[in-house]
Chains A and B, each alone.
Chain A
Amino acid sequence: MSLRLKTRTRRQIRGAVALPVLGALGVLLLWGFSGLPAFGNFHGFYGTLLTKIAVPQRHTTNVVTAVVFDYRGLDTLGEEFILFAAVVGVLLLLRDQGEDEEKAEPPRDAVTSDALRFWGLIGAGGAIAVGLWLVAFGYVTPGGGFQGGVAIASAIVVCYLAGSYRSWLRVSSEEVLDPVEATGAGGFAIVGLAALISGLPFLRNLLGPGEVGTLFSGGSIAFLNWTVALEVAAANVLLYTQFLEQYIAPMVRGRE
């Protein structure tokens, strides 16, 4: 009891100390922001230039995707490796915990409502289609490998929500997903190296720009887009697998 009282007072002290400090931080931030151009009056040279040259140069109508996968492709490679490293960290931390439960039989928790199974299946199919569409047309209309990858992973989760944990295990086997994720991460670097091998700088777009506003535009942007989609989708499904196992494991133990 005395312990709880102590932690409560400690939290109160911490809050009381935090308020003036955060107030000072807020003032500092506001002072810094007041040096920025007023809202709506920004004329950054780099961005303005890119909106003018991206379409004639790369023939991609979505300039944001052109920036992500071409003009600032190296940054995206870095972001991909952050994603990769974070997923590896999650796998290492959580896999250790589930070791003793690995032998246990996965529970039979099939959803019994036919309506839920039926509409769940239709919903999952629709969501996968939307995800693939987001990836495929990512450099023509809003979308791209990052958003589409998460959408595809979310669609696969419906297999658990409307199906069963067993059917989820079938679509999320680590033996398949680990290589897929690695292919996604490595593929980005390989597309970059391909440019290096053909005597151009790393990640230089080495294919022809193609036709404006179609899927055949942007050169290597399309390839980078799909490798990112692979990696993001596989990474998210792996995360969901690890977390769902955390949820299922105590239920299995409770039954025994």
Chain B
Amino acid sequence: MIVATLVPLQATILGLVAIGATCVALCRNTLRQIVLSGVYGLTLVILFVVLQAPDVALSMLVVSTVAYPLIVLVAIARSRHGDVEDEGEGE
């Protein structure tokens, strides 16, 4: 009964995942990209839950909410520091 309703749900979330991946990969601005990447991570979490993989969903959840944003934001901050001539180009 529950399983029968899963298939349209899975298809919907798969669609969201595909859109999310496209947005992350084609976004030019790195700051915007890391925000999109967080959202994409959350869609992956939901996909893993509906694919009956709670362990993997937890793994993705803890990684995509804190670990990725933190290290990437620091890398962006550091790479813009002393990189004045390229600063305008990325916006």
Contact = CB atoms under 8 A, between A and B. Distances in A.
Interface of A: 62, 64-65, 134, 142-144, 146-147, 150-151, 153-154, 157, 236, 239-240, 243-244, 246-247, 250
| 9 cross-chain pairs, A with B, having the tightest CB-CB distances, nearest first | A154-B66, A142-B54, A150-B62, A243-B74, A147-B58, A247-B74, A64-B55, A246-B78, A151-B62
Nearest to B53: A64
29 contacts: A62-B55, A64-B55, A142-B54, A142-B55, A142-B57, A142-B58, A143-B58, A144-B55, A150-B62, A150-B63, A150-B66, A151-B62, A153-B66, A153-B67, A154-B62, A157-B66, A236-B67, A239-B67, A240-B70, A243-B70, A243-B71, A243-B74, A243-B75, A244-B74, A246-B74, A246-B77, A246-B78, A247-B74, A247-B77
Tell me whether chain B's interface is mostly helix, strand or loop, or mixed. Answer: helix
Contacts of A246: 74-75, 77-78
A247 B66 CA distance: 16
Given A154-B65, A246-B78, A147 B59 contact: yes
Nearest to A68: B55
A247 B78 contact: yes
A244 B61 CA distance: 22
Interface of B: 54-55, 57-59, 61-63, 65-67, 70-71, 74-75, 77-78, 81-82
B71 A240 contact: yes
Interface of A is mostly: helix
Contacts of A144: 55
Contacts of B78: 246-247, 250
Nearest to B76: A247
A131 to B, nearest CB: 8
A19 to B, nearest CB: 13
A221 to B, nearest CB: 14
B12 to A, nearest CB: 15
Contacts of B77: 246-247
B26 to A, nearest CB: 11
A134 B58 contact: yes
A134 B62 CA distance: 11
A239 to B, nearest CB: 7
A250 B81 contact: yes
A217 B59 CA distance: 23
Contact of A147 (B55, B66, B82): B55
Nearest to A247: B74
A240 B68 CA distance: 10
A157 B55 contact: no
- Of listed A154, A239, A244, residue having the most chain B CB within 10 A: A154
Of B62, B66, B70, B81, the most chain A CB neighbours within 10 A belong to B62
Contacts of A151: 62
Nearest to A4: B89
A151 B61 CA distance: 9
A183 B7 CA distance: 45
A65 B56 CA distance: 11
Contacts of B57: 142
